[in-house]
Amino acid sequence: MIIQENNKQIFTLQTRNTTYQMKADRNGVLLHTYYGPKIQEGDLSRLIRFADRGFSPNPDEAGRDRTYSLDTLPQEYSGSGAGDFRLASLELELADGSRVADLRYVGAEVKKGKYGLEGLPAFFASEDEAETLVLTLEDISAHVRVELLYGVLEEYDLITRAVRIVNTGDEPVRICRAASACLDFLSADLDFITFDGGHVKERGLNRAHLRPGVQSVGSIRGISSHQHNPFVMLCEPGAGEEHGTCYGLGLLYSGNFEAAVERDQFDNARATLGIHPFHFSWTLEPGKMFTTPEAALICSPNGFGPMSRQFHRAVRSHLLRDVWRDRRKPVLVNSWEAAYFHFDTPRLMELAREAAKLGVELFVLDDGWFGHRNDDFTSLGDWYPNEEKLPGGLSALSAEINGLGMEFGLWIEPEMVSEDSDLYRAHPDWVLNPPGRPFTRGRSQLVLDYTRPEVREYIFQTLQKVLDTANVSYLKWDMNRSLTQVWSAAIPAGRQGEVYHRYVLGVYDLLERFRAANPHTLIEGCSGGGGRFDLGMLYYTPQIWCSDNTDAIDRLSIQYGTSFAYPPSTMGAHVSAVPNEQTGRSVPLETRGVVALSGTFGYEMDLGKLSDREKDLVKEQIQAYRESYELIQQGDYYRLTAPTADGAPTCWMHVAPDQSSAILCVVSGQTHAGPPFRCVKLRGLDPARNYRVSGDEQAWPGDVLMQAGYPLPMLGEYQSLRLWLKAE
């Protein structure tokens, strides 16, 4: 709900559990007055105090009032060069070379429904589910208008933010920085939580108390990256899963980003989130508009768990658009770890027949099906079937796969090109690279210039021809290198700072075209696993390959960190062979199944090499996936314990929204002599109901399970439990 007090220029956003408020003061500065647990309406600007602070300058409107300074006020969207020396939300370079952005409030509008963003991902909602607030600020001297967009999805405690910047003057203006959100706090007694790592070790949780100065994470790799995720949290120092106030901030963007927090000289804090300013500038011609990516904010008064569950619900209901959102996704097997590049039709059909016998529903042909690709040095960009390997092409192969009762899926990497390819030989200028410089290669491949419409058109037409001739129901859209030497032959020299952002817009444009042309095709995002696991990509692909690391024990930490913002239904998770390709570790097939069943489910192995007992277990896992799909994909997710390096088990739960059933998952760590007896306290159950736990003769009261706990059996190293709880 949006409450607008025009006579006081106060704007209050009320959600189910939180309150967010702004006020335009007497000088037109838009102050941020409060964001936190829900409170009564009122003018919260009285929380702001004033004093004459040395070296904090005073704007012209303040006259002789030395207590009024932009350097000390909590602001809704900070400018630069006009007396506020903290993190800037907006930096401009004007035609005269000056770099001042000084914004003042000029108006407001409240609308039913949720705003949309042209060419960019955004949460969506009907008029009955959301409201939009547009606050207009202006820098009169620069002739720049800034529209702050707020979407309020009350039921989910979700507040979205985006910014439109309009040049209302007669000369070009260069945007040098444009954050999507700025959030000021009157106290810096906060912890900053980020999700960091690298390839095959994504989204590990890191927590640190705010120190003086700026702390930040981000990416300048052209993708949101394996190294740092565009979702961060701020919280009270003592906050945990079910207690303490915390704030989740996510950016709906799949390129360079920066999430920064500053603890200033007066122990206030400011957080900004948006496009990374590295190599970013945007020339705004007169009358033109620039739109930032959307930021998503959820505050939880009761810890991380409620915040995560609200993000999960909002993502599932108001970000995922695919028809597969409400359909059970098929159990798949991917050919990569079974065959790599070395296959032909008989070999693939051998793999497919073994999979079909066990109940697998989708066969995915990974790399190596196109051009003359028998290794990763060649043929990217030549998207036509290799008929030496596959006589009759994909049309014949998909028909044979379908004849086994399975659907057919395909791996593609449409943003890349190999130097040894027909496409590169025909269009060497279609790659990102400054003239006269030698290439910097990643995975022996170059990056196509997706800022160019003709490049996107060629890729679309070439791949769509494949999809039109073969019955492809699933695409794995991969992207296997960071961007380097980012320069486009199609963009003037003075506007090369736009290339990174235009590249992301090009990716979004092509994904949207494929979605529209193939509305029933399931597209899974991938960038070497989790290198582009972000809210923006989920708008186009309803699931993302969580990590190239399929080791079940490592996946505990990866999926744990991912779960703070992203629901299990979006996490690509498969059972792979042992010893594991990434770690060399051997983990029981039962445990590999328990971990993978808490995401989108499938296999990465030659299923024909399994023993009869293991094949029976695969059948049981597939049946368990079908039986528990709705609970896992649509239920509430509870982190009971965090993964640790010692022998303590990692525990989590999936709970039905009506609390009628739940699944408890437990995976043990390393074993040590003389292990303790352990009980795990469950969450999310109805304390007044009794629950029958699978394998137990007597039912357990819900309050006992949550307050006293459930006794775990002694488990060996890397063993697991997956227990159903059903209310009586």
Which residues are known to be catalytic? 534, 614
Rounded to the nearest 5°, which phi and psi values hold at 459?
Answer: -65, -40
Which run of H or of E encompasses 403? helix 393-403
CA distances from 583 to 201, 310, 512, 605, 659 (A): 11, 34, 37, 16, 38
CA angle 78, 565, 499 (to 5 degrees): 55
What burial class does residue 699 get, using C-beta atoms within 10 Å of its C-beta: 0-12 exposed, 13-18 middle, 19+ buried?
middle
CA distances from 349 to 362, 403, 659 (A): 13, 11, 44
The residues that bridge with 411 in the sheet, in sequence order, are: 476
Which helix (H) or strand (E) segment is 182 a member of?
strand 173-185
Contact 281, 497 (CB under 8 A): yes
Phi then psi for residue 721, to 5 deg, are: -130, 145
266/268 Cα distance (integer angstroms): 6
| Count of C-beta atoms within a 10 Å radius of residue 520 | 9
What kind and span of H or E run contains 346?
A: helix 345-358
Is the CA virtual torsion 349, 354, 357, 362 positive or negative?
negative
**Amino acid residing at 508:** Y
652 in helix, strand or coil?
A: strand
User: Three-state SS for 633?
Assistant: helix
Spatial separation of the C-alpha atoms in residues 3 and 22, rounded to whole Å: 11
Question: Within 13 Å of residue 728, how many CA atoms lie on the same side as its CB?
Answer: 10
Nearest alpha carbon to residue 595 among 645, 558, 566, 626? 558
